[in-house]
Amino acid sequence: MANSPDHSFGIEGVTNQLQTTTTTTKWVLTSPDPPGFLQHISFQSIKDTVFPQGTANNSSSSDQKKHCVLALVTAIFPVFNWGRNYKASKFKNDLISGLTLASLSIPQSIGYAALANLDPQYGLYGSVVPPLIYSVMGTSQELAIGPVAVVSLLISSMISKLVDPVADPVSYRKLVFTVTFFAGSFQALFGLLRLGFLIDFLSHAAIVGFMAGAAIVIGLQQLKSLLGISHFTTKTDAVSVLESVANSFHTSWYPLNFVLGCSFLIFILITRFIGKKNKKLFWLPAISPVISVILSTLIVYLTRADEHGVKIIKHFKGGINPSSLNQLEFNGPHLGEVAKIGLICAIIALTEAIAVGRSFASMKGYNLDGNKEMLAMGFMNIAGSMSSCYVATGSFSRTAVNVSAGCQSAVSNVVMAITVFISLQVLTKLLYYTPLAILASIILSALPGLIDYNEAYHIWKVDKMDFLACAGAFFGVLFASVEIGLLIAVGVSFGRLILNSIRSNIEELGRLPGTNIFCDKAQYPGSLDVSGVRVIRLTSGSFCFANANPIKERIIRYLTEKNEKDQTKASIIGIVLDMSSVMSIDSSGIVALEEIYKKLVSRNVHLAIANPRWKVIHKLKIAGLVEKVGSDCIFLTVGEAVDACLTSKSIGLASC
């Protein structure tokens, strides 16, 4: 490869260049100290979350206090912001969408309660209090709040390992409410401290795989009701469930349950197909679950099918949400496990809700405030834990129905909650003969939306490592347990993050012809070498204990190999380290950098450090490395570092 043009300088040109380089070097060395760790998590971050920007003004002290109080109230309760512009003309659409939402929410909530191993009324309770609180604290106009399938499965599979819901339902419910309290507390804490990045440890690919695996597991769980099986396994993996189903065929199962459930499942799927083909009939798939419940209940009541093996709901308690404050357990033997389950449920619930909310917010052209969403979710679940509700969040299927029905604001959630509340007063006795197979068919009809084949294929094409996280989560949930699936998903995603951030890759840079731009020679083969100078870029985001020694050895070995291979060329008199990609450095990285400097000096090779980032140069100054290598070896750009090395060569300076 051709060398760059020879650099010749007059004394005046050299002096001007050194003065310019000295000026830019001062910019690097005199930068202020970066903010410390405690400044990232402080009262100020809480203040920024609660108070909107720009609340300060130059008005009188009393007016300023009133303004701050008003800003605080508006920030915590966005209803005071959008409620001022709410028009009566919007209420018609919100009323229709709220009623449509309730028609879908009532049967789904009852089914999800059964999935969570709770009595039916607890699912309906979760569609009353949480939506009301979210409607005044949430920032999404479309998000429909209530119990969801994945969280119900999480609660059932994880808490059942602590307490048997059949043998001791009272203790089981107490743990469920306590888990809900912890989930809400964690969610509120995430919002206050701006810790939403924790949710991102579950990557998009991991969520796609987890949701697909959970959907199949939930579907398999519905075989208990769909086949009328009395004794069913408490495990959630596919092998255990299928073994339990196979064993039931030799003992007790009732075909009438299967016929009834499949008939109405086909009916619901047909109405959904019609609704997709004709957008004006969006209401048909929304009300088909209620129609299925009404018709199947009438069929069972008129034919007395419950006497022939059809499993029914039987009586469940209605009325207003009873207080469960005295059922929260903070001193039991399972407190640590309950807190862990609460954290997992908090993250999964937030991930689903924020993903759904942001999707529809982008369609409507407004931004969703993630921190305020976490705060709203947290307080609604804390209040829910005290009013006999289990973890609630935003539902994709119900939100899609809400949008299709023409909702204009969170008032649709209020209408839905009021409708469900009225249903709790008057409909509970009428649902006595509702077959469990219908609830299973309603849940099964909602599961296809959780399995995104196209997205999984897209992930496979784009990034094979991402697909590994997706597949790991899927098979972990399907063949092990929900916890194992989550652990695999987080482990693969987190492992990849660590691998990308600390792997010890380095790149050799060359100058693009006719420019002062330095690029990776492997990516841009036309870039030129600089005679006597080698430019190396560290690609790791962190120069730390995990990669410090490999990077040091590669740089020294690289120098030796180059000298052996390029004996016909000019010997290397300078090494430029481009540290623009290095975001942080620890004591191990500093020691490695000092050893690199000593090795190069022993070989009469100069070291130049280009574009060290804010935290990096700050630590280099504190560690005294800048004094050891000399401030004239620190440069703002790679071009300045290279030119300084060439200049020092031309005038015989001792160092860069």
pLDDT in tens, 569-585: 557 888 999 999 999 99
- 8 A C-beta contact, residue 311 and residue 225: yes
* CA 520/CA 554 separation, integer angstroms: 17
In the numeric block, which tokens belong to residue 53? 């920007």
Q: Taking the C-alpha atoms of 375, 380, 386 and 387 in order, what is their torsion angle to the nearest 10 degrees?
A: 180
Give the per-residue pLDDT at 310. Answer: 92
Q: Is the pLDDT of residue 3 over 60?
A: no
What ranges in 516-581 are assigned the alpha helix state H?
Answer: 548-565
Q: Which residue has the higher pLDDT, 479 or 361?
A: 479
* CA 399/CA 383 separation, integer angstroms: 22
Nearest to 395 by CA among 33, 26, 126: 126
Instruction: Give me Rg for the CA atoms of the chain.
Output: 32
Query: CB atoms < 10 A from the CB of 222, how many?
Result: 23
Confidence of residue 587 (pLDDT cuts 50, 70, 90): very high
Nearest to 142 by CA among 369, 391, 401: 401
Give the per-residue pLDDT at 654. Answer: 39
* Average pLDDT value for residue range 230-242: 84
Domains of the chain and CATH, by start: 88-453 (no CATH), 503-651 (3.30.750.24)
Give the per-residue pLDDT at 56. Answer: 46
Chain-centre distance for alpha carbon 237: 24
Give the per-residue pLDDT at 17. Answer: 54
Q: What sign does the dihedral 393-395-399-402 (CA atoms) show?
A: negative
- 8 A C-beta contact, residue 527 and residue 512: yes
Give the per-residue pLDDT at 542. Answer: 87
H or E segment to which residue 608 belongs? strand 606-610
* CA 540/CA 555 separation, integer angstroms: 14
Give the per-residue pLDDT at 42. Answer: 52
Which phi and psi angles does 139 have, rounded to 5°? -105, -5
* Average pLDDT value for residue range 365-379: 88
Per-residue pLDDT reduced to its tens digit, 245-255? 888 877 677 88
Q: Is the pLDDT of residue 651 over 50?
A: no
Pairing of strands 574-578, 606-610: parallel
Q: Which residue has the higher pLDDT, 362 or 426?
A: 426
Give the per-residue pLDDT at 14. Answer: 46
* Average pLDDT value for residue range 289-317: 91
Give the per-residue pLDDT at 61. Answer: 66
Give the per-residue pLDDT at 39. Answer: 58
Q: Which residue has the higher pLDDT, 495 or 7?
A: 495
* Average pLDDT value for residue range 475-493: 85
Give the per-residue pLDDT at 418. Answer: 96
In the numeric block, which tokens belong to residue 255? 């075909």
- Range of weakest confidence among 229-243, 457-471, 506-520, 565-579: 565-579
Give the per-residue pLDDT at 13. Answer: 47
Give the per-residue pLDDT at 400. Answer: 86
Confidence of residue 6 (pLDDT cuts 50, 70, 90): very low
* Average pLDDT value for residue range 65-69: 75
Angle at 223 between CA 213 and CA 115, to 5 degrees: 65
Give the per-residue pLDDT at 21. Answer: 60
Give the per-residue pLDDT at 538. Answer: 92
In the numeric block, which tokens belong to residue 332? 């039991």
How far CA 225 is from CA of 152, 253, 258, 306, in Å, comes to 16, 10, 8, 13
Per-residue pLDDT reduced to its tens digit, 517-546? 999 999 999 999 888 888 999 988 889 888
Place of tokens 């003969």: 433
Give the per-residue pLDDT at 429. Answer: 84
Q: Is the pLDDT of residue 181 over 90?
A: yes
Q: Residue 543 carries which DSSP code?
A: E
Q: Is the pLDDT of residue 653 over 50?
A: no
* Average pLDDT value for residue range 441-447: 91
3-state helix, strand, coil in the chain (%, to 5): 65, 5, 30
Confidence of residue 2 (pLDDT cuts 50, 70, 90): very low
* Average pLDDT value for residue range 335-361: 90
* Average pLDDT value for residue range 430-443: 92
Q: Is the pLDDT of residue 201 over 70?
A: no
Give the per-residue pLDDT at 656. Answer: 43
Place of tokens 């305020």: 372
Q: Is the pLDDT of residue 8 over 80?
A: no
Per-residue pLDDT reduced to its tens digit, 154-176? 999 999 999 999 899 999 999 99
Q: Which residue has the higher pLDDT, 481 or 394?
A: 394
Confidence of residue 481 (pLDDT cuts 50, 70, 90): confident
Which phi and psi angles does 577 have, rounded to 5°? -100, 110
Residue 610 in 3-state DSSP?
A: strand
User: How does the average pLDDT of the chain come out, rounded?
Assistant: 85
Confidence of residue 1 (pLDDT cuts 50, 70, 90): very low
